């Protein structure tokens, strides 16, 4: 059985590169019907903080990366284990004291190196090998920054008589200048995407496509990723982060989501109201879907839905440049719409009647569409005018018209 792991050190929030590493480990383990484990490497007591460990877990869960071990090992609590292995190596003469630290004898072009600090704490190279072995990790997917370290790790595996895992080193995520994404950049932290309220589905999809691809497919559900992802096919060259593509993916996911998908975003009241309507009415659902297709973010969707789920009072100020013109036409518009009975209130009929009105007055459809849209929604960006009037409903439309 394939067992992978993600082993961050809790010295900061989850880095987007770390998230991708975790994702690849997760996807590959699931792909192989194996297990994906989480572990915290906190032997650097100075910089490690529990709050970061909490944050990292939350970010992983947010993306949708779930680990299989309920008890997450913290290396700082396993010192006695490393201690016994260290003593073993000392006894066998493979390690030795020097200047208060403990060095391991190198071989194969690797010089002797420290495995135990003079302050009494073990070094990462040592703990990582022991833990991976004890956790039965047999497939290690990590950043290329660890590539050279692997030589040291192999020596430890040999000295301790552990069977070696398989290593895969994935390239880093880099910035515009091909430099590894600095931790200081806002968009380097997963919390940035959480705060911006990107859909986690879009983030997972985006991350998976960074360094990997499958034929001409761009949109992958989690299940598709699990069934198609193969760590052997991950590209070897660094991937540049591209928020434009993420934004596009985010819009795709918003557009395709079912109304019920949005219930977890409770802070967006208009969206919640719309979901409520949509579950009871096919027409409301249709309206919501059309607005979803226009939104790039949840915030934008919430705004677009506002005039459809709330009372809205048209304000003359909205009309600005159209004001004089549209006010002169308003009586006719009202009359035209009033003459459409409730049972004929359809998008087609509305468009038809408005077109006639336009024709009779020798103006263009455009001349009334925009002002009407603003009267009905208070927005310049919304659906087609026929759609707006239809979805709003005859009663609401007439009442909004009578305001002026």
Partner RNA sequence: GGCCCCUUCGUCUAGUGGUUAGGACACCAGGUUUUCAUCCUGUAAGCAGGAGUUCGAUCCUCCUAGGGGCUGCCA
Does residue 47 interact with RNA by CB under 7 A?
yes
Does residue 380 interact with RNA by CB under 7 A?
yes
Q: What is the DSSP letter of 36?
A: E
Residue 218 or residue 316: which is nearer to RNA going by CB?
218
Interaction mask 49-88, RNA, x per CB under 7 A: ----------------------------------------
Does residue 215 interact with RNA by CB under 7 A?
yes
The three-class DSSP label of residue 240 is: strand
304 C-beta neighbours (distance < 10 Å), count: 23
Does residue 240 interact with RNA by CB under 7 A?
yes
Does residue 148 interact with RNA by CB under 7 A?
yes
Does residue 216 interact with RNA by CB under 7 A?
yes
Does residue 256 interact with RNA by CB under 7 A?
no
Q: Which stretch binds RNA (CB under 7 A): 186-194, 238-246, 317-325, 333-341?
A: 238-246
Cβ atoms 118, 99 nearer than 8 A: yes
- Residue 114: beta bridge partners? 103
Place of tokens 């001409």: 216
Query: CA 328, 334, 337, 340 torsion: positive or negative?
Result: negative
Q: Which is nearest to 309 in space by CA: 350, 345, 278? A: 278
Interaction mask 162-201, RNA, x per CB under 7 A: -------x-xx-x--xxxx---------------------
| CA-angle at 189, arms to 213 and 184, nearest 5° | 120
Counted residue by residue, the chain has a size of 404
Residue 1 C-beta: closest distance to RNA, Å: 25
Interaction mask 118-147, RNA, x per CB under 7 A: xx-x-xxx--x---------------xxxx
Residue 76 or residue 399: which is nearer to RNA going by CB?
76
Does residue 293 interact with RNA by CB under 7 A?
yes
Q: CA dihedral in degrees (186, 187, 191, 193; nearest 10)?
A: 140
Does residue 212 interact with RNA by CB under 7 A?
yes
Does residue 244 interact with RNA by CB under 7 A?
yes
Residue 119 or residue 282: which is nearer to RNA going by CB?
119
Interaction mask 300-339, RNA, x per CB under 7 A: ----------------------------------------
Interaction mask 91-120, RNA, x per CB under 7 A: -------xxxx-------x---xx--xxx-
Backbone angles phi, psi at 124, to 5 degrees: -45, -45
DSSP collapsed to 3 states, 132-200 = HHHCCCCEEEEEHHHCCHHHHHHHHHHHHCCCCCEEEEECCEECCCCCECCCCCHHHEHHHHHHCCCCH
Q: Which two tokens stand for residue 340?
A: 């459409």
Residue 44 or residue 68: which is nearer to RNA going by CB?
44
Does residue 369 interact with RNA by CB under 7 A?
yes
Residue 264 C-beta: closest distance to RNA, Å: 24
Give the list of residues 6+ apart from residue 253 with CB closer than 8 angstroms, or none.
Answer: 199, 201, 202, 205
Does residue 373 interact with RNA by CB under 7 A?
yes
Residue 18 or residue 259: which is nearer to RNA going by CB?
18
């Amino acid at each position: 059985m394939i067992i992978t792991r993600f082993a961050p050190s809790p010295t900061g929030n989850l880095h987007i590169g770390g998230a991708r590493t975790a994702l690849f480990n997760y996807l590959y383990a699931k792909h192989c019907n194996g297990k994906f484990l989480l572990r915290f490497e906190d032997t650097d007591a100075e910089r490690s903080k529990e709050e970061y460990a909490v944050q990292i877990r939350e970010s992983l869960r947010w993306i949708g990366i779930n680990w299989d071990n309920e008890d997450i090992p913290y290396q700082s609590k396993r010192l006695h284990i490393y201690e016994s292995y260290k003593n073993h190596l000392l006894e066998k003469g493979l390690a030795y004291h020097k200047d208060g630290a403990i060095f391991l004898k190198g071989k194969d072009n690797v010089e002797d190196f420290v495995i135990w600090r003079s302050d009494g704490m073990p070094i990462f190279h040592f703990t990582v090998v022991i833990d991976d072995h004890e956790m039965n990790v047999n497939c290690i997917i990590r950043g290329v920054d660890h590539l050279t370290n692997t030589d040291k790790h192999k020596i430890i595996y040999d000295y301790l008589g552990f069977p070696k895992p398989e290593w895969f080193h994935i390239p880093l995520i880099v910035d515009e200048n091909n430099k590894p994404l600095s931790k200081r950049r806002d968009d380097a932290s997963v919390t940035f995407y959480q705060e911006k309220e990107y859909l986690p589905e879009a983030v997972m999809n985006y991350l998976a496509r960074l360094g990997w691809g499958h034929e001409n497919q761009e949109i992958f559900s989690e299940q598709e990723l699990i069934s198609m992802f193969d760590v052997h096919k991950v590209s070897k060259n660094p991937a540049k982060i591209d928020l434009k593509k993420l934004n596009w993916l985010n819009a795709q996911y918003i557009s395709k989501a079912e109304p019920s998908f949005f219930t977890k975003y409770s802070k967006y009241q208009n969206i919640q109201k719309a979901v409520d309507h949509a579950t009871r009415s096919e027409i409301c659902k249709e309206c919501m879907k059309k607005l979803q297709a226009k939104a790039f973010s949840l915030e934008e969707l919430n705004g677009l839905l506002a005039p459809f789920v709330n009372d809205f009072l048209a304000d003359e100020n909205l009309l600005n440049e159209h004001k004089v013109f549209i006010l002169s036409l308003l009586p006719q518009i009202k009359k035209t719409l009033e003459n459409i009975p409730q049972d004929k209130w359809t998008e087609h009929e509305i468009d038809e009647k408005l077109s006639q009105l336009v024709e009779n007055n020798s103006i263009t459809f455009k001349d009334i569409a925009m002002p009407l849209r603003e009267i009905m929604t208070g927005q310049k960006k919304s659906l087609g005018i026929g759609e707006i009037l239809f979805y709003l409903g005859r009663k609401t439309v007439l009442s909004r018209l009578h305001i002026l």
